[in-house]
Amino acid sequence: MTVAEAARRAKVSEQSVGNWKRQFLEAGRTGLVAGKSGPATREAQLEAEIEDLTQALGEAHLAARVWKKSAEGRLGPSRTSR
């Protein structure tokens, strides 16, 4: 499809289609370069946050188990542990 055909179909100017194409290709190049150098900054931040939250969840689970065991020692076995 030509730029003129795409512009007619989208009911925009040929210049708009050309600009979109240029932006798309630039973003693709940027994405490929970033992919080769490692995860993007935002992706690295999210991965670090996931790691922190996973660790916090594990610690909270362990604390809950300790509290439950402590309560069982004082109150007898829980009804849910049957």
Tens digit of pLDDT for each residue in 23-67?
999 999 888 877 666 667 888 899 999 999 999 999 999 999 999
Q: Say what angle helices 3-10 and 14-37 make with each other, to 10 degrees.
A: 110
CA distances 65 to 36, 62, 71, 73, 78, Å, are 44, 5, 10, 12, 12
Q: How far apart are the first and last CA of the chain?
A: 69
Structure-block tokens of residue 20: 């979109």
Structure-block tokens of residue 55: 């660790």
Tokens 């946050």 identify what position? Answer: 49
pTM equals 0.42
pLDDT computed for residue 81 by the predictor = 56
